[in-house]
C-alpha cells in the first residue's frame, strides 16, 4: 500500500478535478472538490484568527453537515488535531474528554454552547459556534500552513469506556488512510459507486468514509442523522450502492414495515460490524443486499478483518495488511477448533496500529505488547478457517457453571419485535455465582411484557443463558463510539423476576 498522505492528495485532486463531486447531501446539494477545498481553507483561516495553531487540539461537537465536513478537512490539512466528540455528551463525560486532550478550543453547534459551558472546563481559546451548516466561501487571503506528513497525528478519537472513562486513541494521517482503504477493500468499491453515509462523523466508521473520495472514484451521500423511517427513501433517491451497518441498525431496519422501497434501490453491499447471525439471511433476502461483516477497532485503523464469503456468523479473514492470532492468557496460539482466546493484531505496514492512548500510559502498556495489539476481544478460528467474534473479554457472566457471553444473549434478544436494544449484566446470585439481568430499551410505541419476553427467550436460549431478571430503560448511557456503558446502568432497577410475576426485591 502506497501511503501518500490525505492532505496532500486532497489538494492535488482539487487542482486536477475541481468540478468532480465529492459528496451530496440528502436534499441534493452537491459539494465539489474545489468548493470543499476552498471551504477547508476558510475554516483554517477562521480557526487561526481565533488563536488556534498547528498542533492544537480542536474538540468538534457538531452534527453532520457540509460545514462540519469542511472543518474536519481543514483540521487535517493544517495539522490541527481533530478531536471528534459526540454532541450528546454532557457533564462529567464531556469534562473528562476536554481535560484529557487539553482542548485548545471547542467548535460546536450553537445550541451546545451552554452544554460546554456547564461542564466547567474552559478551553484556552474558548468556545466557537458553527452557526451555518453550509460551506463557507474561499477566504480572501489563503491561509499559510505546512501540509502534515502521513505519520503526523491527525485525530484523538474516543473509544470503549464501557467499564470506565473513555480512552483517547491517537490516530495518525496514515491510520485514517488505511481505514479508508479498508472500506475500499471490504466494499469491493467500483468507479462511480455512491456510499450512503448516515453514520456520525465523530465515529471512526464515519471518519474513514469522509476521506474515501480522495483515494478512489466514489461519491458520498451525507445524511444529517440515521432515520429508520426515511432510510430507504433517502438511499433510493440518491442512487446509493453501499450502506454501512453498526450495532443494531440491521435489526432496526428489519422492524420497519414492508415497503416497495425494500427492493427499489441500487445497493449492492451492506458493510460493517455487529450483524447478528440470526438476522443475516433475513436481511439479505428481504432487501436483496449482500452483507459483508467486518471486525476491527479504532486502534488498528478501524477494519482489520472481513467476511466477504458470506459465511453467517463469521468475521472472516484478516485484510491483506494485517495478521490476527487467537491467544490464551498464557500466550498459547490457538488454531481452528481449539477454543476461544483474545484477538491479537499485528500489521505489515508501519503505522497501521496506533502508538498509544493519549495521556494513558498504563492503558497503552496493557494494549500494546511485544507480540502485538491486544484487542480485549474474544474470538476463535472455525474449522472452515474463518474467525468468529465472541464479545469483549470480561463481558460474560459465570452462571450455573457456564460462561455466558453477553454478545450471544443480546444478539438473540434484539430480534424480538418489541425490543430495540439490550444490555446483559451479571448480578450476585443467592446461591452460586451470578444470575443474568437483561436491560431492555423497548421499540418506540411498544410496552413489552417481561413475562412474555422471558417465554419468547426460553425457546431461543439455553437454560443457563436465560435472564432471571428483566429491567426496562428509556435510553442507554453510551460511549462516543455508541457502545453501552454498562457500569452506568442503574444498580438497583425496578425489575421483573422470572421465577414469579412480582417485582423482585432489590438488594
Cα separation, 36 vs 13, in Å, equals 11
Residue 239 has a pLDDT of: 97
- DSSP letters, 122-181, are --TT-EEE----SPPPPPSSPPP-PPPPTTSEEEEEEE--SSSSPEEEEEEHHHHHHHHH
Secondary structure of residue 496 in the 3-state scheme = strand
Q: Which residues pair with 344 in a beta bridge?
A: 325, 374
Phi-psi region of 205 (alpha: psi -120 to 50; beta: other; left: phi over 0): alpha
All structural domains of the chain: 6-381 (3.40.50.12780), 397-497 (3.30.300.30)
Considering only CA atoms, which of 150, 253, 280, 255 is closest in space to residue 196?
Answer: 253
Residue 481 has a pLDDT of: 60
Give me the sign of the Cα torsion angle 490, 446, 504, 392: negative
Secondary structure of residue 494 in the 3-state scheme = coil
Residue 507 has a pLDDT of: 37
Cα separation, 99 vs 326, in Å, equals 36
Helices H / strands E in the chain, number of each: 14, 27
Q: Are 220 and 24 in contact (CB under 8 A)?
A: yes
Residue 503 has a pLDDT of: 41
Distances (CA, A) of 476 to 239, 259, 281, 484: 34, 30, 28, 6
DSSP state of 148: P
Residue 499 has a pLDDT of: 76
In which residue are the cell numbers 474516543 written?
A: 158
Backbone phi and psi for residue 250, each to the nearest 5 degrees, phi listed first: -65, -40
Query: What residues have CB less than 8 Å from 8, skipping those under 6 apart?
Result: 147
pLDDT tens for the chain, 507 residues long, are: 888 899 999 999 999 999 999 999 999 999 999 999 999 999 999 999 999 999 999 999 999 999 999 999 999 999 999 999 988 888 887 898 999 999 999 999 999 999 999 998 999 999 999 999 999 999 999 999 999 999 999 999 998 555 556 789 999 999 999 999 999 999 999 999 999 999 999 989 999 999 999 999 999 999 999 999 999 999 999 999 999 998 678 988 998 999 999 999 999 999 999 888 888 999 999 999 999 999 999 999 999 999 999 999 999 999 999 999 999 999 999 999 999 999 999 999 999 999 999 999 999 999 999 999 999 899 999 999 999 998 778 787 878 767 787 888 998 899 899 999 999 998 988 766 789 999 999 999 999 999 999 999 998 888 888 999 999 999 998 875 667 888 889 888 899 999 744 344 343
Cα separation, 194 vs 196, in Å, equals 7
The angle, 0 to 180 degrees and rounded to 10, between the axes of the packed helices 173-186 and 6-16 is 70
Q: Up-side HSE of residue 63: CA atoms within 13 Å toward CB?
A: 14
Amino acid at each position: 500500500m502506497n501511503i501518500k498522505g490525505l492532505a496532500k492528495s486532497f489538494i492535488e485532486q482539487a487542482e486536477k478535478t475541481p468540478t468532480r463531486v465529492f459528496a451530496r447531501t440528502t436534499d441534493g446539494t452537491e459539494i465539489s472538490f474545489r468548493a470543499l477545498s476552498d471551504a477547508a481553507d476558510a475554516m483554517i483561516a477562521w480557526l487561526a484568527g481565533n488563536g488556534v495553531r498547528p498542533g492544537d487540539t480542536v474538540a468538534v461537537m457538531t452534527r453532520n453537515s457540509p460545514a462540519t465536513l469542511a472543518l474536519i478537512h481543514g483540521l487535517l490539512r493544517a495539522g490541527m488535531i481533530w478531536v471528534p466528540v459526540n454532541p450528546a455528551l454532557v457533564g462529567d463525560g464531556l469534562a473528562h474528554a476536554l481535560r484529557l486532550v487539553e482542548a485548545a478550543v471547542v467548535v460546536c453547534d450553537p445550541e451546545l454552547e451552554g452544554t460546554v459551558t456547564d461542564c466547567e472546563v474552559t478551553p484556552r481559546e474558548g468556545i466557537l459556534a458553527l452557526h451555518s451548516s453550509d460551506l463557507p466561501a474561499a477566504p480572501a487571503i489563503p491561509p499559510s500552513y505546512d501540509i502534515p506528513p502521513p505519520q503526523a497525528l491527525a485525530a484523538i478519537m474516543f473509544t470503549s469506556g464501557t467499564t470506565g472513562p473513555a480512552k483517547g486513541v491517537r490516530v495518525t494521517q496514515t491510520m485514517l488512510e488505511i481505514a479508508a482503504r479498508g472500506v475500499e477493500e471490504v466494499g469491493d468499491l467500483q468507479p462511480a459507486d455512491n456510499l450512503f453515509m448516515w453514520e456520525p462523523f465523530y465515529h471512526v466508521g464515519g471518519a474513514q468514509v469522509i476521506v474515501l473520495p480522495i483515494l478512489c472514484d466514489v461519491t458520498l451521500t451525507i445524511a444529517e442523522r440515521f432515520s429508520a423511517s426515511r432510510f430507504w427513501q433517502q438511499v433510493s433517491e440518491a442512487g446509493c450502492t453501499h450502506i454501512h451497518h453498526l450495532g443494531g441498525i440491521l435489526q432496526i431496519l428489519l422492524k420497519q414495515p414492508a415497503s416497495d422501497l425494500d427492493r427499489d434501490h441500487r445497493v449492492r453491499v451492506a458493510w460493517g460490524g455487529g450483524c447478528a447471525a440470526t438476522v443475516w439471511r433475513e436481511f439479505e433476502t428481504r432487501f436483496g443486499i449482500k452483507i459483508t461483516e467486518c471486525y476491527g477497532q479504532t486502534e488498528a485503523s478501524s477494519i482489520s478483518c472481513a467476511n466477504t464469503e458470506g459465511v453467517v456468523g463469521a468475521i472472516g479473514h484478516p485484510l491483506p495488511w494485517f495478521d490476527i492470532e487467537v491467544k490464551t492468557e498464557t500466550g498459547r496460539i490457538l488454531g481452528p477448533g481449539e477454543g476461544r482466546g483474545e484477538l491479537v493484531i499485528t500489521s505489515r505496514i508501519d503505522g497501521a496500529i496506533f502508538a498509544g492512548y493519549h495521556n494513558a500510559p498504563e492503558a497503552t502498556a496493557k494494549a500494546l505488547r511485544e507480540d502485538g495489539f491486544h484487542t480485549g476481544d474474544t474470538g476463535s478460528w472455525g474449522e472452515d478457517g474463518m474467525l468468529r467474534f465472541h464479545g469483549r473479554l470480561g463481558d460474560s457472566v459465570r452462571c450455573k457453571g457456564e460462561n455466558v457471553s453477553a454478545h450471544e444473549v443480546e444478539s438473540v434478544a434484539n430480534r424480538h419485535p418489541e425490543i430495540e436494544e439490550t444490555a446483559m449484566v451479571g448480578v450476585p446470585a443467592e446461591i452460586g455465582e451470578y444470575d443474568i439481568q437483561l436491560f431492555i430499551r423497548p421499540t418506540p410505541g411498544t410496552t413489552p411484557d417481561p413475562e412474555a419476553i422471558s417465554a419468547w427467550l426460553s425457546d431461543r436460549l439455553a437454560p443457563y443463558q436465560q435472564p432471571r431478571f428483566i429491567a426496562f430503560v428509556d435510553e442507554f448511557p453510551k460511549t462516543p463510539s455508541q457502545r453501552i456503558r454498562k457500569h452506568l446502568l442503574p444498580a438497583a432497577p425496578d425489575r421483573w423476576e422470572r421465577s414469579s410475576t412480582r417485582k423482585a426485591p432489590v438488594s
